[in-house]
Amino acid sequence: MKRKLAQKVLLGITAASLLMSGCGNKQTGSDPAPTPVSEVEENETETSVHEEEKPNSVVEEEPTVINVNVVTPSESRVEQYADMSLELLKRESSASENVMISPASIMFALDMCAEGASGDTYEQMANIIAPGVERDDLKQDAAYFVSLFEDDTMHIANSVWANESIVGKDGLNANYMSTLKNYYSAEAFSEEFTGETVNKVNEWIDDNTNHMIPQVIDDTAISSSMILVNCLAFDGSWEKAYEEGRVNENGTFNGINGEEEATMMSSTEGIYLENSSATGFIKPYEGDKFSFMAILPKDEEVNIADFVGNFTGADYMELYNSAQYTDVQTIMPKISFEYENDLNKTLIDLGMTDAFDSELAQFDDMVADPDAHQFYVGRVIHKTKIDINEDGTQAAAATVVLMKENAVAPAPVLYVNLDRPYAFAIIDNETGAPVFMGTVNTTK
């Protein structure tokens, strides 16, 4: 059970949110996707990146090669991640609706944003993402999860979109772009933002979420200076699919509003979980890389939002590590829902205040000329969808960070209006010595 500990955290936290809710509107972008200005080559344990100079490129002009060693996070780091996940879930959870977040997707988007932050802005963001973790270690975490998530079951994609009409063709910091490329495998796009750009971003998201999330942003994003995007898509088949005779289409789920008819799926699983506050089970997906983790409060009267509100990362790890390899009879509903929300308030409540403040935000490391461009976070949008059925689970998440620009105050316009008597001189430019001097009292 200890093996691949970090690999199962994402879906475990997902499972914790299945009894809470939300909805979202959908719209499909139809314009063709733009051509990336950078590409990444990687393998499972080490990433070698060759950066090439291209027209409109926002990376270094000189090609570079950076080797990134993939390091598995420690168990304490995983517990920190679980804490962060639960803190996010607590603030999103509802007493009456379904909710699902992807802590991993949110983490990737915030990490990419934090890479360009400094001062208090960075410290506040890092305190949410990973309190006490060194900046370089955050990069290693990102590299680990990129290598973990990219396989036949899980797909990850990151991208950055620069608005040339605001930052120009080479207005982003080359070192920042190199970091996103090397550690996050981020694609980079640069163009003047229009309604077509919105369609391209949405189409990119649609393509990278297995067409589960066709639309996240709208035309209000056109005024953004930069757009950071993370997508995750999971498509896992159960290691043991539910047998036809163990799927009851006339089952009952005791929901928040009482009994409701539901398709209930039953099975015998081999891993039972229990601690002082919850029981649960683990149901593996094919490939032995990811599993579904169910968490059921022992208190049958507790509201699930209240339960999550008191559940910590330590509680989560304790439950996970309580695994007993024994038969357990399980029943769970067949479900399908989606969720969408702006995370601004949640992140501000968690202490990430300066990033959203146009006067206090410090994102100097994002731009080539901090004096000319001062960025702040306008919106953080998070959208998810999940389907759990007899054959497996399909889930997707997209997190979008819209960076805005705080207009740099222009130099004051100075006026000297010679519309009244004045003095003048014709001077030697090298010394300033007057060659001619005079006064004017009248133009007649």
Whether 258 and 384 share a structural domain: no
Q: What is the pLDDT of residues 163-178, one digit of tens each?
A: 999 988 888 999 999 9
| Together in a domain, 188 and 323 | no
pLDDT on residue 81 = 82
Domain that holds residue 313: 244-331
Same structural domain, 375 and 251 = no
| 202 and 153 in a common domain | yes
List the CATH number of the domain containing 400. 3.30.497.10
Q: Residue 41 corresponds to which tokens in the numbers above?
A: 């080559």
Q: What is the pLDDT of residues 202-239, one digit of tens each?
A: 999 999 999 999 999 999 999 999 999 999 999 999 99
- The verdict on residue 202 lying in a domain is yes
The Cα angle at residue 66 between residues 186 and 159, in degrees rounded to 5: 5
328-341, pLDDT tens digit by residue?
999 999 999 999 99
Entry pTM: 0.79
90 domain-assigned: yes
- Please check whether residues 65 and 211 belong to one and the same domain: yes
User: For the chain, how many structural domains are there in total?
Assistant: 2
Residue 134 sits in the same domain as residue 36: yes
Residue ending a domain, among 331, 358, 393, is 331
What's the pLDDT tens digit per position in 93-121?
Answer: 877 789 999 998 999 999 999 999 999 99
Q: What is the pLDDT of residue 29?
A: 36
On whether both 233 and 257 belong to a single domain, the answer is no
User: Do the domain assignments include residue 435?
Assistant: no
CATH classification of the domain holding 310: 2.30.39.10
Query: What span, in angstroms and rounded, lies between the C-alpha atoms of 60 and 73?
Result: 30
Model confidence at 84, pLDDT cuts 50, 70, 90, reads: confident
**Are 222 and 270 contained in the same domain?**
no
82 and 143 together in one domain: yes
Percentage with pLDDT > 90 across the chain: 51
Q: Does some domain include residue 412?
A: no
Whether 60 and 118 share a structural domain:
yes
**Position 230 in a domain:** yes
Q: How far apart are CA 54 and CA 34, in angstroms?
A: 14
Same domain for 198 and 252? Answer: no
Give whole-number Cα distances, 424 to 159, 315, 420, 428, 442, in Å.
59, 81, 13, 13, 13
**What are residue 376's phi and psi, to 5 degrees?**
-150, 165
Last residue of a domain, one of 331, 355, 382: 331
Domain annotation covers residue 229: yes
Within-domain flag for 324: yes
In 3D, which of 203, 204, 158, 136 has the Cα closest to residue 401? 158
- Asked if residues 124 and 132 have their Cβ atoms less than 8 Å apart, the reply is no
In a domain, 232, yes or no: yes
pLDDT band at 261; cut points 50, 70, 90: very high
pLDDT in tens, 181-193: 999 999 999 999 9
Binned at pLDDT 50, 70 and 90, residue 406 comes out as confident
| End residue of a domain, out of 331, 359, 384 | 331
